[in-house]
Structure 1
Amino acid sequence: MTVQAKRIIDDAVVRKTAKPGEKLLDRAFAFAFKGLVYAQIWEDPLVDMEGLAIERDSRVLCIASGSCNALSYLTADPAQVVAVDLNRAHVALGQLKIAAIRHLPTYDRFRRFFAEADHKENREIYDTLIAPHLDAESRKYWESRDVTGRRRITHFTRGIYRQGLLGGFIGMAHLFARLYRIDLSRVLAATTLEEQREVFERELAPVFDRRFVRWLTDHPASLFGLGIPPAQYAALAGDERMAVVLRRRLEKLACGFAVADNYFAWQAFGRRYDRRPEAALPPYLQRANWERMRERIDRLDVRNANMVHYLGDADATSHDRYVLLDAQDWMDDAQLNTLWAQITRTARPGARVLFRTAAEPSLLPGRLAPDLLDRWTYREEQSADLTARDRSSIYGGVHLYELA
């Protein structure tokens, strides 16, 4: 990682006003965040697209993460999607997907590479059909060695969704479950919501009453694998013990939606996507959208950048859809106001901003300057509805604002 890339992440994660011990935790998270964190993004793109109401002339700005949502927004036919990310690995993953959509010959080949992501021939497919079309920085990332000494592109021969910080965290959760003689895949074998709840109540819920689990989750570093920095840990816990909060979020994931329709549940409880022909997949991976993706892929731009810096260089009234994921949970008040000042300056009439928070309420009231907050209307009822229907289930709130 370059010195500049390291500085970008440190500036975003390490709180300037934190106490020394808190800064040490922030720096530990920043170090963990410098590799691949999310092989799959954990925000529901169907909820995003409904809230954003993307139109033909929309210019969407989002945080890339695993690029699943940035790619999926193309199915709504916007004029442009720009996806920025502080993490070089996430940018390389986005560029890999873009090159694959452009140059792989068939949908079936694309699906095997990214939806199944564990076939031995994927390495040769990369070398012959994808690598020649990658930018130098992304190609360097995928062809360099990971800590095991293997080329990173071999993640796609061993299951990319088992890799990265989140993949490792989920793997550890499965290991702990086996130690407690729990088979998490039983959730996926359920055929009704009632059966899903029975499995959760019988096998998963009691784990959160274990003394060791409650002790472990009381430490902010225990959730680094979820991509949750110390600043967000406090917001997620609120006034409750973390084990109680995690139990409630996992309950929604396991019981709130039919597993046949929820690929987030498959990632959590199976560490992969469902492989049946009509399985639920992110929109960009669905067969019905393959031709749309190929036709519109040139409208997506994935780049390594801080969103505030990107907006600072953008023209006034140049964008109208913004997706902030949960990044604001990491920010202090000064950073929050700087971001929204740039969003407001670059926003077209009717612009919409969608973001998620670890806690349930929107974090803007009381923190964003009144002259900025008054420019935006909070769509409270729609936000509550989107939150209830977000299949990823790990966030307390999905929030939608519209330029007044």
Structure 2
Amino acid sequence: MSTHTLVHQAVRNTTTTGRKALGDKLFARWFSQLVYAQIWEDPQIDIEALALKPGARLVTIASGGCNALAYLSQQPAVVHAVDLNHSHLAMLALKKAAFATLPDYQTLLDFLGSADRKQNPQRFRRYVAPQLPVVARQYWEGKDWRGRQRYQLFAHHAYRHGLLGRFIGFGHLVTRLLGGNLGKIADAGSLDEQRALFDRHLEPVFRHPLLRFLARRESLLYSMGIPPAQFAALREDAGGDLATLFSQRMRRLACDFPLAANPFAQQAFARRYDIGQQEALPMYLQSRHYESIRHNLTRLLGHHGSMTDFLDGCAPQSLDAYLLLDAQDWMDDAQLNALWRQITRTAAPGARVVFRTGGSRSPLEGRLAPQLMACWHTDPDYNRSLHARDRAAIYGGVHLYCKRT
């Protein structure tokens, strides 16, 4: 089944009518290309919440592939990476092949960390391409919208591409036009400087009438992977004042965590990873995890399709951990309950589920069937602590649910 069809089925839920139906169609078309060159969920929070032990059996949404690789450092039995979008699975396959074939850690860091070295296209052709599955190789050797073979992105700041990368670039441009400067945050040398620079160069922009107007434009946020259903949840959480909500979340990203230990802020403000500081790199690119990830690469498997359909093919009690990102924000009640029937059936005793939400509330409360909800428990206080420590900082909530034994 094509990516467009899968995405359209995911966002076009059973209550879709009128304006939302048109929005869903537009989003499905927009989301059918590469959206995330890198993932925007903090794997350190995931690993803590899931209490991963060696031999765990995981299933996650692939997205940009970074976290699926990071989980390999925990010695799992298997990591299943599922995605509706074949572009994300091609990105995962490329990153996996880079680990398997590039000759050493420094070369890997040039290829996936800097992602702008002039030698990278030759490295792709010599090392990476022969290791790729046929479909992924066809994707990377195919042409992008500029008529350039896609693997050439890794000589041109790969993470500035994809819909989210281009949206971040657009955000930098708009901010400058409105008298601010996102890039100034990257000059900070301490948390106090980060806060001072945010107050000087960013906070006033969110009060500008044009920015407040743009914040209400639903289609503008498609490039962040926010479909109409999730936009509605954000609007409800914001009480209609989306500009203020976005300002608060940008402040968390800019001011709550040291830049030198936050790869998400590095990409948002400097538009690159600081490869000179290990803690500023995403977990999967840190040298301390290099050997364990390489050793466990065969345990990482990609699957094209929906999470519900994938789980339908799994045996009862065969999985220990589930990472749903923010996919449930897309779902209506029927889709949500179909997913959790499969999660509950396939979950081993003590299994754990982690997901993010655009708003602060869990979508399970008041929507999941009582017989399913009775199988799971959660701790709202602990969830709030997870959210407070999630360095990606763009979501309204991080939620952990544990299967009752």
TM-score category of the 2 structures, normalised to the smaller one: over 0.9
Q: 1:113 aligns with which of 105, 111, 114?
A: 111
Q: Which residue of 1 aligns with 2:231?
A: 233
Q: 1:124 aligns with which of 116, 122, 125?
A: 122
Q: Which residue of 2 aligns with 1:261?
A: 261
1:19, distance to aligned residue in structure 2 (A): 2.2
Q: 2:36 aligns with which of 38, 46, 70?
A: 38
1:294 lines up with 2:291 in the alignment: no
Quick check: 71-80 or 87-96, which moved more? Answer: 71-80
Q: What are the equivalent positions in structure 2 for 1:41-190 lying under 5 Å apart?
A: 41-190=39-188
SS of 1:185's partner is helix
Determine the C-alpha separation between the residues in 1 that align with 2:379 and 2:197: 36
Does the 8 Å contact 1:15/1:23 carry over to 2?
Answer: no
Q: 2:196 aligns with which of 195, 198, 202?
A: 198
Determine the C-alpha separation between the residues in 2 that align with 1:334 and 1:280: 41
Determine the C-alpha separation between the residues in 1 that align with 2:163 and 2:54: 36
Residue deviations 1:84-136 (CA, integer Å, cap 9, x gap): 00001000000011111111110000000001001111101001111111111
Does the 8 Å contact 1:5/1:86 carry over to 2?
Answer: yes
SS of 1:353's partner is strand
Q: Which residue of 1 aligns with 2:341?
A: 341
Q: Which residue of 1 aligns with 2:391?
A: 391
Q: What are the equivalent positions in structure 2 for 1:322-337 lying under 5 Å apart?
A: 322-337=322-337
1:381, distance to aligned residue in structure 2 (A): 2.2
Query: Where has structure 1 moved over 3 Å in runs of 4 or more?
Result: none
1:184, distance to aligned residue in structure 2 (A): 1.8
Determine the C-alpha separation between the residues in 2 that align with 1:4 and 1:34: 9
The one-letter code sitting in structure 1 at the alignment partner of 2:214 is L
Does the 8 Å contact 2:178/2:208 carry over to 1?
Answer: no
Residue deviations 1:245-285 (CA, integer Å, cap 9, x gap): 10010010010111111110011111111132435111210
Count, aligned residues: 402
The one-letter code sitting in structure 1 at the alignment partner of 2:21 is K
Q: What are the equivalent positions in structure 2 for 1:285-324 lying under 5 Å apart?
A: 285-324=285-324
Is the alpha carbon distance of 1:208 and 1:277 closer, same or farther for their aligned partners in structure 2, counting shifts above 3 Å?
Answer: closer
Quick check: 274-283 or 225-234, which moved more? Answer: 274-283
Does the 8 Å contact 2:352/2:402 carry over to 1?
Answer: yes
SS of 1:399's partner is strand
Determine the C-alpha separation between the residues in 1 that align with 2:13 and 2:146: 32
Q: Which residue of 2 aligns with 1:369?
A: 369
Residue deviations 1:33-81 (CA, integer Å, cap 9, x gap): 0110001100000000000111112100000000111110111111111
TM-score, normalised to structure 2, is 0.97
Unaligned segments of structure 1, at least 5 residues = none
Determine the C-alpha separation between the residues in 2 that align with 1:219 and 1:61: 34
CA RMSD of aligned residues (A): 1.0
Unaligned segments of structure 2, at least 5 residues = none
1:6, distance to aligned residue in structure 2 (A): 2.3
Quick check: 231-240 or 120-129, which moved more? Answer: 231-240
The one-letter code sitting in structure 2 at the alignment partner of 1:340 is W
Q: Which residue of 2 aligns with 1:215?
A: 213
Determine the C-alpha separation between the residues in 2 that align with 1:152 and 1:330: 29
Does the 8 Å contact 2:58/2:321 carry over to 1?
Answer: yes
Residue deviations 1:205-263 (CA, integer Å, cap 9, x gap): 11111111111111211111111011100111212321111001001001011111111
Determine the C-alpha separation between the residues in 1 that align with 2:287 and 2:227: 36
Q: What are the equivalent positions in structure 2 for 1:265-280 lying under 5 Å apart?
A: 265-280=265-280
Quick check: 316-325 or 214-223, which moved more? Answer: 214-223
Does the 8 Å contact 1:379/1:402 carry over to 2?
Answer: no
Does the 8 Å contact 1:323/1:354 carry over to 2?
Answer: yes
